[in-house]
Amino acid sequence: MSRKPLRSNFEPGSTRWAVRHAQWTAMGIAEADFDKPKIAVVNTSSGLSVCFQHLDGIAKRVASAIRAAGGLPLEIRTAAPSDFVTSAGRQGRYLMPTRDLIVNDIEVQVEGAELDGMLLLSSCDKTTPAHLMAAGRLDVPSLVLACGYQLGRQCGEHHVDIEEVYKSVGSVKAGQMALGELQDMCRVAIDGPGVCAGLATANSMHCLAEALGMALPGNAPIRADGPRLHALADQAGARIVAMVAEDLRPRAILTPAAFRNAVRFAVATGCSVNVMRHLIAIAIEAECPVDVIAEFERAADLVPMLTRIRPNGPDRIETFEAAGGVRGVQRRLAAVLDLDVQTVTGRPLGAWVDETPEPDARYIRPLAEPFAAEPGLMIIRGSLAPDGALVKLAAVPAAIRRFRGAAKVFEDEAIAIEGLKTGAVRPGQVIVLRMLGPKGGPGTVFAASFMAALVGAGLGSEVAVVTDGELSGLNSGITIGQVMPEAAEGGPLAAVRDDDMITIDLTARRIELEVAAGEIARRLEGFTPPVPTGRYGWLHLYGQLVQPLSQGAVLGRRPALPVVKP
């Protein structure tokens, strides 16, 4: 079956062969299966969240397909973070660190057992980037199966999903909605398993797995536990066995051109602001010499807005799927994509683009007739973010491209949310949420709830937010995220004081702290970040190892690679 010996087949009579033989025989695995390709079915599943509710069934389905194709499936489990459940403890500090925990968990199990390939079942926000990072690091044949989105339901006369619930918390805080109304929404907001409806981080990363060539064509977006996903699960199980036989590895797919393609897809669709850090981390783990930040800056001048999927506009994620999804956007972008890149199918991207039907122009516009000439995602720089910051321009009100206001500084998101009730947060301000990044948290505090509450309170177009904390792909409004360097690194964000003036100019792609450079330097002299609470445990270890946001917040310093220019 394989063109080269499988690394999982040990020398008969050796210690490794004997103990594995004994273990697997006791598990009921037939001896005839021992020499087959051994495929890790990475089931990032949990009973904590609806995001993962269907994965055990999908794992069984892909395992059957692997067996039918001549492989031996071996299911492994990892941590399974949910942004709406695992965020409860320590103000969401556990969320970003779980991404890298999953990567290391996969390494321990797949490398420790010397398995031959991986089929990775991806669901909530951190699992897809973790799976792609692990694939890049281990470089064994790997295929991502994006396991789909949930839907909402009707609440009275209105359609309600998790985004509406999220925003309505601010309405309750501002006294504009009764708690009972919110409770009614919670009862109907989610219909079935899967990730958040809308182009939030989970669906964004599902799409980017396909855009990178690491998922089967047509995988994203996809309704969770529906017939299309079931069919793709069968295809994925067969395909991963073939990939082992072909020795098709992730680093042959995760090339600079593949990352360039993925960035252009992200800009054209207005993906989550979190995708940049994840793409950087995937590139680092794959040892791919590409400058992802520079690719975002180039794409902003090249790629306009071709879709308007919520929260970027009125169209829903299921509409995007029906209109053509990732393949439809790639067909529209064909003129600015590298179509020679390899994919997990063993065929170049161009072959799939040629076979893709014309997408529905009502929802996926041609490159020459975009919904907006502006990019959906954009890097901005300036005295407040010398290494860059990211703005989801698609989710900023169209009438607002310049905002100037007095700073109001918070280092605790809960206090900022309370400010909506007390009046500490007022129209015209620039709210600075800092010391919330990977080092400052440590573990990247979930700043997204404040932005959602702000929009729910009706202030989304009257108050700007600048943060080094973690945002959600569901956030909308005047939001500047992933400010680099983060405050805890001694970046200029740490020098901001209440009532300093901040100017955000999205047309010029600038964000400026209106304080003299010498004064900023003086304020930062001898700066030391606050000492995080809790001296031990996973967050403490993470804080010691995590690298800057500009390096994807990966764990451990990596040697710099020469960048391949386009």
- List residues with catalytic annotation: 472
CA dist., res. 384 & res. 492, Å (int): 5
Q: Count CB-CB contacts under 10 A for residue 28.
A: 6
Give the distance from CA 325 to its chain's centroid.
17
Q: Which residues, in sequence order, are CB contacts of 229 under 8 Å at separation 6+?
A: 58, 147, 148, 222, 223
CB 12 within 8 A of CB 87: no
CA dist., res. 271 & res. 65, Å (int): 32
Provide the edge-to-edge strand list for the sheet that holds 142-146: 72-77, 38-43, 117-122, 142-146
**Tokens in use for 539?**
């967050």
Sign, Cα dihedral of 149, 44, 93, 406: negative
Q: Count CB-CB contacts under 10 A for residue 73.
A: 24
- What's the angle, vertex CA 317, arms to CA 417 and CA 322, rounded to 5? 175
Q: Which residues, in sequence order, are CB contacts of 456 under 8 Å at separation 6+?
A: 166, 167, 168, 169, 170, 171, 172, 173, 174, 176, 177
Q: Which residues, in sequence order, are CB contacts of 473 under 8 Å at separation 6+?
A: 125, 196, 198, 199, 200, 201, 202, 203, 204, 271, 272, 273, 274, 311, 392
SS3 524: helix
CA dist., res. 321 & res. 299, Å (int): 24
Q: Count CB-CB contacts under 10 A for residue 526.
A: 7
- Residue 386 DSSP label: E
Q: Which residues, in sequence order, are CB contacts of 345 under 8 Å at separation 6+?
A: 216, 217, 239, 352
Owner of token pair 């170049």: 348
Q: Report the greatest alpha carbon distance in the chain.
A: 75
CA dist., res. 137 & res. 103, Å (int): 9
CA dist., res. 467 & res. 323, Å (int): 34
- Residue 508 DSSP label: T
CB 35 within 8 A of CB 9: yes
Sign, Cα dihedral of 418, 173, 377, 196: positive
